[in-house]
């Protein structure tokens, strides 16, 4: 087990032990070793991380194969460093000292915990990892080439969506829906193999299954998540049923069927994860002539979180080859923060820009340089998604739009529509997340069970859709995220809960107990101060649980989210 250079500290401890009581000197020895591990990691991995972030940025802007190859190579170098066996052995040894309470310095202890997780993830048998990657790629390829086939005619994904969004012919909808699910049957066998390979990897690392491993690596725990999602279920069941009844009535009317005859193919997307567009809504109108960039600048400066340096480095409009999506990246954790976007004058891009800039203010722009490099980022993916969503929601608030100086032509109609879209989207999405979390957990716990049945049991219970009679098909396998973004979905939902809870706390503390629905932040520097002090500045020194308690005085719960979306 021990390499020669590791004998030195052990010999030192033995020497010290003969002369001094244990408690007095075990600490500094652990601390020195920990500091050495941390310094070595920073020296090796920090330049690699900066290079990878830069390569990622370049590739997404140019879209060129050569740039993507460079991006992959940069990522591989990080993986190589983190899979180093000797480094991991030393981290494990230091982590054991930390677990015995021998590292009193809290920041050092926290860094050791995080390094342990980062390196643990990469301690996989390379042969097994190759098999997993190959299997996942094989499945993704099948997804890429799959086309729904209806009566000998191939339909692209967007053609499928178009039928589900617009057709009033139930038979046609059913045919397209069923055809789109066939990819599930194509990949179900491979997916089962993939799940078993992932489980094998987890068992080798000492975990029961891959779900448990992934949660552990992200400082989460399955039982705790289920408890939180049970609470969310209880609080959203009624408002969801109410919203769905209203949507159902419109869906049924559009297709000339009775509400009781509605089937999963009557909603507007293949999984009922989005709100069907059944209300006559135009949220884009106020933004059709607005300067979205200026609105963002003014808003963020007004709350005391200016973003000019971010915008100066960003790439914000459409161009050839460029990624059509949006993201924010902190290149060096020294304030070089950039946003990639493709701004168009509509509500979607107003919301998206508020979202990405929410990530941007929660970065090394506002996490002080005194926080060590390893801890100088968001506490967790769910907290940064939460902050982004907290700001994003304003694009659907008439009060916010008007106070930002934009005229809303039909204010009442806008209010009703925006409120409905906002509520329905989040309620429907929350029920879909219930299905995803519970399905994945159960699938990794027992991949040999009847997964077809498990899926529809969950869809019926949480999304309240009707199972097609006699349907026995692997419909779960037609959702690509189960293959390519495993055990991740719950973080989006938890981000929403975090957003609501932080917003409610701001209403209480900054606005002296005002109704959260009326709080829109504009021009209030105290909001920025709150966000900085309570959320940004701790960086990763606190884990997501402690940060939530530090910022809001409570554990993460579904209560404020439910209150925001119609439950009391
Ligand atoms: Zn985001």
Condensed to tens digits (0 to 9), the pLDDT of residues 73-131 reads: 999 999 999 999 999 999 999 999 999 999 999 999 999 999 999 999 999 988 998 89
Give the Å distance between the CA of 60 and the centre of ligand 1: 16
Q: 0.85 cut: is pTM over it?
A: yes
Q: What is the mean pLDDT of the chain?
A: 92
CA of 429 to the centre of ligand 1 (A): 15
Query: How does DSSP classify residue 476?
Result: G
393 CA from centroid of ligand 1 (Å): 13
CA of 349 to the centre of ligand 1 (A): 13
Using the mean position of ligand 1's atoms as its centre, give its distance from the Cα of residue 381 in Å: 9
Structure tokens at 239: 């408002």
Instruction: Identify the CA nearest to 335 among candidates 364, 304, 360, 313.
Output: 364
pLDDT-based confidence at residue 12 (cuts at 50, 70, 90): very low
Torsion, Cα of 212, 214, 218, 220 (10° steps): -20
Could you tell me which residues come within 8 angstroms of residue 361 by beta carbon, excluding any fewer than 6 positions away? 300, 305, 307, 387, 531, 536
Task: Calculate how far, in angstroms, residue 356's C-alpha sits from the geometric centre of ligand 1.
Answer: 6
CA of 261 to the centre of ligand 1 (A): 38
Distance 324 CA to ligand 1 centre (A): 15
CA dihedral 512, 426, 422, 386 (to 10 degrees): 50
pLDDT in tens, 208-256: 999 999 999 999 999 999 999 999 999 999 999 999 999 999 999 999 9
What is d(CA 426, CA 240) in angstroms, rounded to the nearest whole number?
Answer: 9
Measure the CA–CA gap between 456 and 473, rounded to whole angstroms.
Answer: 10
Residue 466's pLDDT is 96
**11, pLDDT greater than 80:** no
pLDDT tier at 25, thresholds 50, 70, 90? very low
Lowest mean per-residue pLDDT among 138-152, 163-177, 522-536:
138-152
CA of 384 to the centre of ligand 1 (A): 7
Give residue 359 CA to ligand 1 midpoint distance, Å.
7
Q: Which of 544, 516, 565 is nearest to 224 (CA)?
A: 544
Q: Residue 148 Cα, ligand 1 centroid: separation in angstroms?
A: 30
Ligand 1 centroid distance, CA of 423 (Å): 19
pLDDT in the model for residue 27: 53
pLDDT, residue 567, reads: 55
CA nearest to 458, candidates 438, 474, 443, 473:
438
> What is the distance of C-alpha 533 from the center of its chain?
23
**SS3 category, 489:** coil
Burial class (CB in 10 A: 0-12, 13-18, 19+), 354: buried
**Centroid of ligand 1 to alpha carbon of 360 (angstroms):** 10
pLDDT at 323 over 70: yes
Gap from CA of 319 to ligand 1 centroid (Å): 22
Residue 358 scores a pLDDT above 80? yes
Would you state the torsion angle of the CA atoms of residues 152, 157, 163, 166, taken in this order, to the nearest 10 degrees? Answer: -160
Torsional class of 464: left (φ above 0), alpha (ψ -120 to 50), beta (otherwise):
left
Mean pLDDT of the region 451-473: 96
CA of 386 to the centre of ligand 1 (A): 8
Distance 120 CA to ligand 1 centre (A): 26
Q: What's the 290 CA to ligand 1 centre distance in angstroms?
A: 23
User: 548, 498 in Cβ contact below 8 A?
Assistant: yes
Q: How far apart are CA 440 and CA 451, in angstroms?
A: 10
In this predicted structure, what is the pLDDT of residue 156?
85
Apex 294 CA angle, 288 and 296, nearest 5: 95
Residue 8, pLDDT above cutoff 90: no
Residue 44 has pLDDT above 80, yes or no: yes
Instruction: Evaluate whether 435 touches 248 at the Cβ level (below 8 Å).
Output: no
For 475, the token pair is 């419909």
Give residue 392 CA to ligand 1 midpoint distance, Å.
10
Percent of the chain past pLDDT 90, that is, above it, reads 80
Between the CA of 233 and the centroid of ligand 1 the distance, in Å, is: 24
- State the distance from the centre of ligand 1 to the C-alpha of 388, rounded, in angstroms: 6
pLDDT category at 504 given cuts 50, 70, 90 is very high
Task: Report the pLDDT value the prediction gives residue 279, as an integer from 0 to 100.
Answer: 79
What is the distance in A from the centroid of ligand 1 to the CA of 385?
5
| 310 Cα–ligand 1 center, Å | 16
| Cα-to-centroid distance, 348 and ligand 1 (Å) | 14
Instruction: Give the confidence band of 485 by pLDDT, cuts at 50, 70, 90.
Output: confident
**SS3 for 554?**
coil
The pLDDT score that the predictor gives to residue 6 is 37
Ligand 1 center to residue 326 CA distance, Å? 9
Q: What angle do CA 252, 253, 254 make, to 5 degrees?
A: 90
Is pLDDT above 70 for 21? no
Q: How confident is the model at residue 416 (pLDDT cuts 50, 70, 90)?
A: confident
pLDDT at 46 over 90: yes
pLDDT tens for residues 521-534? 999 999 999 999 99
Ligand 1 midpoint to CA 358 (Å): 8
Q: How far is the CA of 339 from the centre of ligand 1 (A)?
A: 11
């Amino acid at each position: 087990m021990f390499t020669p250079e590791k004998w030195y500290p052990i010999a030192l401890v033995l020497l010290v032990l003969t002369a001094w009581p244990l408690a007095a000197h075990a600490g500094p020895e652990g601390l020195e070793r920990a500091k050495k591990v941390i310094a070595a990691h920073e020296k090796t991995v920090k330049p690699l991380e900066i290079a990878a972030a830069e390569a990622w940025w370049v590739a997404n802007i140019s879209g060129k194969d050569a740039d993507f190859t460079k991006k992959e190579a940069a990522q591989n170098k990080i993986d190589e460093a983190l899979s180093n066996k000797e480094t991991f052995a030393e981290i494990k040894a230091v982590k054991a000292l930390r677990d015995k309470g021998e590292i009193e310095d809290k920041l050092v202890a926290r860094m050791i915990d995080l390094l342990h997780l980062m390196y643990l993830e990469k301690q996989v048998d390379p042969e097994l990892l190759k098999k997993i990657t190959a299997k996942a790629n094989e499945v993704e390829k099948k997804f890429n080439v799959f086309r729904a086939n209806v009566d000998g005619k191939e339909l692209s994904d967007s053609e499928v969506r178009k039928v589900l969004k617009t057709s009033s012919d139930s038979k046609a909808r059913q045919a397209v829906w069923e055809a789109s699910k066939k990819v599930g049957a194509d990949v179900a066998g491979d997916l089962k193999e993939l799940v078993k390979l992932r489980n094998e990897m987890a068992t080798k690392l000492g975990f029961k299954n891959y779900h448990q491993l992934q949660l552990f690596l992200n400082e989460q725990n399955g039982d705790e998540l289920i408890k939180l999602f049970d609470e969310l279920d209880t609080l959203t069941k009624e408002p969801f049923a109410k919203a769905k009844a209203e949507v159902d009535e419109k869906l049924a009317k559009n297709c000339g069927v009775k509400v009781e005859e509605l089937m999963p193919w009557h909603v507007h997307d293949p999984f009922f994860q989005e709100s069907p567009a059944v209300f006559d809504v135009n949220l884009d109108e106020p933004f059709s002539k607005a300067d979205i960039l200026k609105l963002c600048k003014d808003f963020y400066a007004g709350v005391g979180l200016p973003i000019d340096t971010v915008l100066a480095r960003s790439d914000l409009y459409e161009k050839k080859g460029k990624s059509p999506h949006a993201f924010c990246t902190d290149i060096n954790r020294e304030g070089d923060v950039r946003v990639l976007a493709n701004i168009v004058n509509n509500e979607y891009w107003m919301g998206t820009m508020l979202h990405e800039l929410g990530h941007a203010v929660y970065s090394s722009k506002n996490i002080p340089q005194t926080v060590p490099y390893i801890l100088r980022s968001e506490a967790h993916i769910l907290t940064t998604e939460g902050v982004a969503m907290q700001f994003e929601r304003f694009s659907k608030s008439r009060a916010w739009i008007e106070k930002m100086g934009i005229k809303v032509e039909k204010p009442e109609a806008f209010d009703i529509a925006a409120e409905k879209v906002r509520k329905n989207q989040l309620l429907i999405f929350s029920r879909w997340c219930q299905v995803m979390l519970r399905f994945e957990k159960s699938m990794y716990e027992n991949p040999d069970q009847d997964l077809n049945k498990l899926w529809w049991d969950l869809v019926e219970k949480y999304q309240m859709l009707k199972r097609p009679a006699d349907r026995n098909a692997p419909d779960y396998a037609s959702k690509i995220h189960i293959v390519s973004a495993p055990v991740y979905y719950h973080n989006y939902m938890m981000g929403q809960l975090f957003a609501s809870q932080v917003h409610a706390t701001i209403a209480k503390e900054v606005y002296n107990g005002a109704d959260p629905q009326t709080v829109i932040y504009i021009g209030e520097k105290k909001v920025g101060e709150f966000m900085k002090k309570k959320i940004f500045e701790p960086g990763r020194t606190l884990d997501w649980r402690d940060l939530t308690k530090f910022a809001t005085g409570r554990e993460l719960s579904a209560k404020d989210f439910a209150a925001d979306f119609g439950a009391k």
